[in-house]
A and B are shown apart, each in its own frame.
Chain A
Amino acid sequence: MSVPGKGVLRSVKNYAKGYSDMQIKVREATSNDPWGPSGTIMNEIAQATFNNNDFTEIMDMIDKRLNDKGKNWRHVFKSLTLLDYCLHVGSENVVSYAKENMYVVKTLKEFQHIDDNGKDVGANVRQKAKDITNLLSDEVRLRDERNQRAQMRDRMAGVENI
């Protein structure tokens, strides 16, 4: 099936399963399309984690995607990317949630999948899972990186206001 076809199928699924707007956004960001989630959409999602209602929906969907099967390794990989992003700029809730459920990421360090062309695509997931686990277990670095992002955001906001 061609890529546009898939996009249509996804919107049908979104409708049929009655997903909320925020869940649809997360599904969009972590889809099987062979390109990474865009910065804009990740930013929108990360900002939405400050809203408690959206937060639950977002984490719920990320969790589903993280537990997807090997064939859908892109779901897993992109959810890790999204989670990483939210850990940096999202709300504090994301950090505590991720720490509490660290095993979900930790157990992905041995993720395996060989695609139809015999290419080991699991390596991406394993590396990303390792990075996030390291980040989560290094409190100082996590604080540092979150602060840096916040400062950068403030500076950028200043520029916009001029």
Chain B
Amino acid sequence: MSYLSSDKAEAELAQSIKKATSPDETAPKQKHIRRCIVYTWDHHSSALIWSGLKVQPILADEVQTFKALIMVHKILKDGHPVVLKDGLRETAWIETCARSVAGDGSRGYGSLIRNYVELLLHKLNYHRQHPEFNGTFEYEEYISLKNIDDPNEGYETISDLMSLQDRIDQFQKRVFAHFRPSSNNECRIAALVPLVEESYGIYKFITSMLRAMHRRTDAVDALSELRARYNSQHYALLRFYYECSNLRYLTSLISVPKLPQDPPSLIDSDTPSLP
């Protein structure tokens, strides 16, 4: 529901985009990003956000580019499903972000930006191939949309999703590696927030889906490869969340999920489902 005339809404949106991608080396403020997300739901469109991003002088400054990528990630994740479709048309612009910084840049965001771009393109590509997913990977909605009667298709979905999870893991490691002792790293930590949420969404999805597949097919052997991969991803996530839980700034924003020490059983149906 929108109470503002469209002119005023547009002006406010432009303001929010500008403020979210300001040149200060801080986290992009959630209130500005929230306004963009709410806009996509109110108007069922994200066209103005992309054009707004393009008119800002974002590419000239590495911090601004990085903040723009965080914002893009968040609106892809939490915005109206139409944002994913629009995002697929904007891949060329996302690619130019990666080319905007030479080397590591003066403030060390160069390789972070290039990696973030890679991750976002990978994510968008995943959504292109599996259009039945929403941005946050909610299992219930997927199941209600699609009956996973075809085990081959389910296998592929999970395997592709695991590749995306691996990408997230690579990127988070790089973010941690680029922390600088001299600063509070707020801007870099801000990128971890959507990563934690997304990786947990994917983790929950894979867990439910693998359990369902184990119940359905008798081919426990055929799934052994996925099980092995699931287990190693569990330990990787455990480490990632542990490291995140030591960042005061991050834990003040979101609660970092707590995983059990060992991966939950996929075969035993008595194990409680995840929160």
* Complex partner residue of B34 from A60, A108, A123, CB under 8 angstroms: A108
Report the Cα distance A111→B3, complex, angstroms. Answer: 22
Do A103 and B37 contact each other (CB < 8 Å), given the known contacts A63-B1, A112-B253?
A: yes
Residues of B within 8 A of A70 (CB): 31
Of residues 85 through 113 on chain A, the ones whose CB sits less than 8 Å from some CB of chain B are 101, 103-104, 106-112
Q: Which residue of A lies closest to B136 (CB)?
A: A106
CB atoms of A106 and B78 under 8 A apart: yes
CB atoms of B31 and A112 under 8 A apart: yes
Report the Cα distance A104→B41, complex, angstroms. Answer: 9
Interface residues of B, count at CB 8 A? 15
Do A110 and B34 contact each other (CB < 8 Å), given the known contacts A103-B78, A120-B252?
A: yes
Interface residues of A, count at CB 8 A? 19
CB atoms of B3 and A103 under 8 A apart: no
Interface presence of B226 (CB below 8 A): no
Interface presence of B212 (CB below 8 A): no
Q: How far is the CB of A62 from chain B (nearest CB, A)?
A: 11
Report the Cα distance A112→B41, complex, angstroms. Answer: 21
Of residues 1 through 27 on chain B, the ones whose CB sits less than 8 Å from some CB of chain A are 1, 3
CB atoms of B31 and A69 under 8 A apart: yes
Q: How far is the CB of B36 from chain A (nearest CB, A)?
A: 10
Give the most central of A69, A101, A103, A107: most B CB within 10 Å: A107
Interface presence of B259 (CB below 8 A): no
CB atoms of B1 and A101 under 8 A apart: yes
Interface presence of A13 (CB below 8 A): no
Report the Cα distance A111→B32, complex, angstroms. Answer: 11
Report the Cα distance A26→B3, complex, angstroms. Answer: 17
Report the Cα distance A70→B29, complex, angstroms. Answer: 11
Beyond A64-B3, A110-B34, 10 additional contacts (C-beta under 8 Å) are: A67-B38, A69-B31, A101-B1, A103-B41, A103-B80, A104-B38, A107-B37, A110-B254, A111-B30, A112-B29
What are 21 A-B interface contacts by the 8 Å CB criterion? A64-B3, A67-B38, A69-B31, A103-B37, A103-B38, A103-B41, A103-B80, A104-B41, A106-B78, A107-B34, A107-B37, A108-B34, A109-B254, A110-B253, A111-B30, A111-B34, A112-B29, A112-B31, A112-B253, A120-B252, A123-B252
